[in-house]
Structure 1
Amino acid sequence: MKFLYYLNVFAITLFVGCDRNKKPQETVTEQTRPNIIWLVAEDQSPQFFPMYGNQTIALPNLERLAADGVVFDNAVAPVPVCAPARSSLITGMYPTTLGTHNMRTYAPWRGDGESPYPSLGIPSYSPIVPKGVKMFPEYLRKIGYYTANGPKEDYNFEKTDAAWNESSAERHWRKRHNDQPFFTVFNFAVCHESQIWKRSKDSLYVAPDAVPVPPYFPDTPVVRHDLAVNYSNLKRLDDQIGEVIADLKEDGLYENSIIFFYGDHGGPFPRHKRALYDTGVKVPLIIKFPNNKNSGSRDDRLISFIDYAPTVLSMAGIEPPKVMQGVAQFGKFEGRNKPEYTFHTSDRFDAIYDRLRAVRNKRFKYIKSYNTDLSHALPVAYREQMPMMQELRSLYKEGKLNDEQASWLSPTKPEEELYDLEKDPFELDNLAQREEFQDTLKHFRTVLNDWIKETNDLGRIDESDLIARWVPNGEPPQLASIEMEETDGKILLSAPKPDATIVWKSPKDSIWSIYSEPLPNDRPFEAKAERIGYADSETLIFSVE
């Protein structure tokens, strides 16, 4: 049974909510290429936001953005933790296909040659991704976009120099040339998991006794305080986003820009981050289209991070590469076949391997565990710093949690879980053993198994074997030197590896440009080839006497 069989084939128009009688989107030209901005909130679930029905705290800037845009009710991350999820965003690929499915594969900040996890002997490494996979901003730069990102990268592989004009905390579209179109990513860490304990003594913008406590958490002062800290951090997030939107409006760019606001995976709490429940994989998503097209509407389509890269390229008038596993949801190259399912994975966190896989549609979620002797509540040292996590451990040990609150902390977990997301949005009632749901269970089991085979899920392979394949002798393979030919006053460059990218710059420049046409032979330059998973080729230095 082929994976494509499970795609829901239907024709739709180019913008959300448009019907067949409305005019399609105009052809994208160099003069009409849209400016695209990503506003990325770390570690947040939809359930905390006013646009998803939670009025605990006002977020005026995001609420206005939602009023000007489209709110998506079924936006998801393929992995409930940052680095693997971001590898998907930047490539349009599943982390399990890329080899970025384990948390923290590329971690050079831990020290040159030092193993991030000494007990496992795992070095910092970049997987050798499938043929043709690139960081998608490279395609934008090739047609003239100014691309800027910051301050976070964290792709689970070493970035390529072709992707960004700038990647730093100081990134801004205002650094581009004249009216150059731009793609700019603003990442906001103020609502990250770590801020629950780091800001625990900061001012609160909502009283702990005023916050709603979801049924999977006990109603205690510690839990309420941590929830209040998160709502307060969302107020800080909203203020920071307001500054970016104010800059857009000051520059006269807001109306005609495309703005994405989304979370990089689910919320910061236990049973959120690192969990395949919707609290871990479902994300808030708002897209404001040019001229506020379809403002104030909602869209319940399934949209995953693998769709973001092809969608942005399509919006810019670029046909997405065939290697991308996502679907362009909007734009010139909008796909006619929209996904009927989304797929989610969980593998190694720190030094603990716990492989889980999940498939979801609008109604049901199926979760498969390959390590039933491990608790869902893995002892991740980073998370154990959170007061709420410590509270949950203590109450579980004392037997003071009810069944719904205790199930996530149980020392074992079921091999299969099935949830009705409409009737049980918090996924507390496992239907896998119910006789009346056996056909549904078998169907989702088949869909997931077919996806695992069709996408070459590398989680089936021991990480040590993957490292031996990608980093032989402890070093990544190096690309062969680029070749140079001089003819008719021009310098022609080529890379022996066909899918490598050649970048070049003048000796005094700091930013690498993408080589796309012959260079003049009357000025010096440096050039090299690069590809994800490989060490760059030796730098070619061309001098002029």
Structure 2
Amino acid sequence: MGAYGHKFVNTPNFDRIAEEGILFQNAFTTNPKCAPSRASILSGMHTWQMEEACNHYGIFPSKFKVYPDLLEDAGYHVGYTGKGWAPGDWEAGGFARNPAGPVYNQHKLVPPTEGISDIDYASNFNAFLEERQQNQPFCFWFGCLEPHRKYEEGSGVRAGKNLDEIKLPSYYPDDEIIKSDWLDYALEIDWFDLQLGKILNTLEELGELEHTLIVVTSDNGMPFPRIKGQMYEHDLRLPMALYWKNQVPGGRKIEDLISFIDLAPTFVEAAGLPPHAQFAGRSLMNMIRSDQQGRVEADRNKVYMGKERHDVGTENDVAYPVRCIRTEKYLYVRNFKPDLWPAGNPETGYTNVDSSPTKTLLLKQHAEGQDDYYHLSFGKRAEEELFEIRTDPECITNLAEDPHFDPVKKELWLELKKVLVQTGDPRTQGRGDVFDHYEYVGDQSHSWKAYKEGWFCKQKF
């Protein structure tokens, strides 16, 4: 987002929320893939607490309460447009509707590129508002499908974006194919921001904007190799801005470490409701209602993340289980099964990495014997990884291999393990493989099972 200093995107509406409200410098997802990340937002829980909902393309058990239902029970009008909780099966979990609420996707438009959805998000928000009762409080989930892949290749450059504005991270070669791919991604971020602006304009025209709590964030990092679905800083730390004109002093940047599990408790408290017993997160209300910035609450100095099975395609379609702790200085990563391939097996096309020109280029270079960048994105990893984030935000140098950092590594693992035990993580109870046995409800034509049985359809990238 532009508010963080990025010039290759045009995000005036996010930037407005950040300028007039709060820009969070250290907001973290719990699990870097769409469905489990969104499950944490909705439930206020770590994904390892949520059984099938920890997995991508899994089932969302209705025994876990979600904040839209809690607000609806309190009299709120609720709904969503675009992508709610997905991908997965909420009906099999016992929900009568998507966990994000009733869907409003009936209004369509003609998108500017083939990669952009035809859902008219702003018109659907208007339809949602038309159905609420007079003076009824509302809660709306705008789940923009952009910038999810796929993209129209070259659309960013054709729209006037400049390759020279892109400075690639060091885990990629300095290549125009990747830079152009980034600009295609940026164009869809711009589209998201344009739709956000239309929604803000509607609220302003109705006189509702200053009374409405607005949080804008993502669900995982960029859909590029080594980022989306992986466990490094560039996927776990996400943009987030918050605005509530009549309640929250604006013009602030907050550096406290906050987690997606803190959002549901925040929304529930903002509605005047008591916290639900299942919440693992803590409301942000005291922090955001203060007039402080920088470091505000001293005990918000660490967050915890994890993943289990994302997309099938590892050997025997099992999970690549990981747990992490991020402090103000370090990111510690525990890979429970380092013998597996973290991005999916080579035989099945590294299925935990979205197809893209960037992926194609890196694998082409690998086939030609250029392996440095390949290993950073697709190679196997050590059981323990430790990164000093202030000096190494790209997570290139694994300090866990340096004996000098053994005390730090031990301390962080003990702290992480303590929280995992407290929150009932099956990985600390000797039954972590339960995640491998939960049903995968997505397309299995690119699975290890399909590969072994001869009906495999390799993804194109």
Normalising by the smaller structure, the TM-score range is 0.7 to 0.9
The reply on whether 1:166 has 2:166 as its aligned counterpart is no
- Report how many aligned residue pairs link the two structures: 394
Matched ranges for 1:9-88 at <5 A: 49-88=1-40
SS in 2 for 1:345: strand
State how far apart, in whole Å, the 2-side matches of 1:347 and 1:297 are: 36
Q: Could you tell me how far apart the structure 2 residues matched to 1:278 and 1:68 are?
A: 27
Output the amino acid matched with 1:63: D
Q: TM-score normalised to the size of structure 2?
A: 0.79
Q: Which residue number corresponds to residue 426 of structure 2?
A: 458
| Residue identity opposite 1:420 in structure 2 | E
Give TM-score scaled by structure 1 length. Answer: 0.67
Aligned pairs (5 A) from 1:77-116: 77-99=29-51, 100-106=53-59
Report deviation, 1:356: 1.2
Equivalent residue letter for 1:173: L
Paired residues for 1:289-308 under 5 Å: 289-291=244-246, 293-308=248-263
Q: What is the match of residue 152 of structure 1?
A: 83
Q: Which structure's CA Rg is the greater one?
A: 1
1:249 to 173, 187, 204: 204
Identity %: 25
Structural mapping, 1:426-441, within 5 Å: 426-441=394-409
Cα distance in 1, alignment partners of residues 287 and 102 from structure 2: 27
The Cα offsets for residues 273-293 of structure 1, whole Å up to 9 and x where unpaired, read as 001101111110000123373
One-letter amino acid of the structure 1 residue matched with residue 192 of structure 2: L
Over residues 434-487 of structure 1, what are the superposed CA-to-partner deviations in whole Å (9 max), with x where a residue is unaligned? 23211110001111222222212235432478649xxxxxxxxxxxxxxxxxxx
Once the two structures are superposed, residues 362-399 of structure 1 have per-residue CA deviations (whole angstroms, 9 ceiling, x without a partner) of 21100011222233332444745311101111113323
Q: Contact 1:396 / 1:409 at 8 angstroms: preserved in 2?
A: no
Check the 8 A contact 2:84/2:141 in 1, yes or no.
no
Note the 1:288-367 alignment, pairs <5 A: 288-291=243-246, 293-330=248-285, 338-351=299-312, 352=314, 353-367=319-333
Amino acid at match of 1:79: N
Distance 1:383 1:410, change over 3 A: closer
Map 1:380-419 onto structure 2 (within 5 A).
Answer: 380-381=350-351, 383=353, 385-400=355-370, 402=372, 405-409=373-377, 411-419=379-387
- Cα shift at 1:79: 0.4
Distance 1:83 1:407, change over 3 A: same
The structure-2 alpha-carbon separation of the partners of 1:426 and 1:96, relative to structure 1 and needing over 3 Å to count, comes to: same
Q: Judging changes above 3 Å, is the alpha-carbon distance between structure 1 residues 239 and 199 closer, same or farther for their aligned structure 2 residues?
A: farther
In 2, are the aligned partners of 1:173 and 1:184 still within 8 Å (CA)?
Answer: no
- Give the match for residue 535 of structure 1: none
Give distance in 2, aligned partners of 1:152 and 1:256. Answer: 25
Contact 1:344 1:357 in 2 (8 A): yes
Residue equivalent to 1:482: none
Give the helix-richer structure, 1 or 2. Answer: 2
1:188 Cα deviation after fit: 0.9
CA change 1:147–1:269 in 2 (3 A) is: same
Is 1:375 matched with 2:376?
no
- Consecutive unaligned residues of structure 2, counting only runs of 5 or more, are 106-123, 290-296, 440-461
Query: Which residue of structure 2 aligns with residue 36 of structure 1?
Result: none
The equivalent residue for 1:266 is 221
**Distance in 2 between the 1:415 and 1:332 partners?**
36
The code of the aligned residue for 1:103 comes to: H
On the 8 A contact 2:32/2:228 being kept in 1, the answer is: yes
Change in Cα spacing, 1:186 to 1:199, as seen in structure 2 (3 Å) is farther
Q: For 1:139 and 1:280, how far apart are their aligned partners in 2? A: 30
- 2: CA distance between counterparts of 1:204 and 1:278? 30
Larger strand share, 1 or 2: 1
Q: Are residues 218 and 256 of structure 1, via their aligned partners in 2, closer, same or farther at CA, if it must alter by over 3 Å?
A: same
Distance 1:235 1:164, change over 3 A: closer
- SS of equivalent to 2:343: coil
CA 1:78 to 1:224, structure 2 compared with 1: closer, same or farther past 3 Å?
same
Letter in 1 for 2:384: E
| Structure 1 Cα separation of the partners of residues 248 and 418 of structure 2 | 38
